[in-house]
Amino acid sequence: MPSALSPRLWGAHLLVLVLVAAAGGLGWWQYSAYQAQQEAEARDLTEATPVALTDLMGPDDPFPARSVGQPVTVSGAWVPDGTVYVSGREHDGTEGYWVVTPLAVGGAGEPALPVVRGWAPEPEAAAAAPEGAASVQGWLQPSEGTGAGDVDRTDDVVPQVRTADLIQHVDQDLYGAYAVLDPDAAPNSDLVAADALEPADLAELPEAAGSTGLRNLLYALEWVIFGGFAVFIWWRYVRDVTQGGPLGAPRGVGPGEPRVASGS
């Protein structure tokens, strides 16, 4: 019988090392993503020093997970035709709408960041969308994904602040994020006065799910199980080859059957 270190088994040893290393690396990557999301949710950045949006992300960048709630400053030009009204948002116990207008970062025609200007009981009660150049400050939030679908794409009412929904209302690219206007920030004073909207502060955001990052954690466990399964298959194969199991038995001889001597 060959030993576990015979050249015949080197390929199996190398394969299991590659599979276990890959499973371990992918599992650690998913676990790190889970930890990052947990830490991001636990951090309160709302009172941090404002930074320029362009210092945190570009229009094609994924949302920086550790920057949820970070105050950002944005300069550009309003896109009034892209204004939408997000339904199902409460203010002082009354259900109404968020008023969201994109701000083209850097100037007209550039990719835009949706800005939640405030809250209104009905879309008709909101002031006309602002026009021209502006500089505002708000709390950065990731694009929502509650699963609610936009049942009527012909109006300006949407169920969530989701890039895939908002992109239908503008002629330019959108950032994968949005900002909730800080009503007390100095750069917003003129806009807040002109809009006369109720503030849409972070206390009115939908509560974060208790399962934040759970999918990444489950993926990490899945990769651990895969690595363990690969080790189990390798162990069975090596055992069978070295101990004369189903894979190591001579041809024509079943496991457990005695060999019959010839010529007697």
Per the prediction, the chain carries an average pLDDT of 83
- pLDDT tens, 164-222? 889 989 999 999 999 999 999 999 999 999 999 999 866 545 444 455 677 888 888 99
- pLDDT tens, 146-161? 666 666 667 899 989 9
Complete DSSP assignment for 13-48: HHHHHHHHHHHHHHHHHHHHHHHHHHHHHH---TTS
Long-range pairs for 34-41: beta carbons < 8 A, 24 or more residues apart: 34/213, 34/214, 34/216, 34/217, 34/220, 35/213, 36/65, 36/66, 36/213, 37/65, 37/212, 37/213, 37/216, 38/212, 38/213, 39/66, 40/65, 40/66, 40/67, 40/68, 41/68, 41/208, 41/212
Contacting residues for 220 by C-beta, under 8 A, at least 6 apart: 27, 28, 30, 31, 34
Eight-class DSSP state of 106: T
- pLDDT tens, 31-80? 888 877 666 565 667 788 999 999 999 999 999 877 888 999 999 999 99
Residue-level pLDDT at 7: 80
CA-based nearest residue to 106, from 54, 56, 71: 54
Residue-level pLDDT at 240: 82
Residue-level pLDDT at 144: 83
Task: Give the β-pairing of 51-52 and 71-78.
Answer: parallel
d(CA 9, CA 14): 9
Domain ranges of the chain: 7-33+215-243, 45-208
CA-based nearest residue to 174, from 251, 38, 76: 76
What is the separation, in whole angstroms, between the first and last Cα of the chain? Answer: 25
| 3-state secondary structure at position 11 | helix
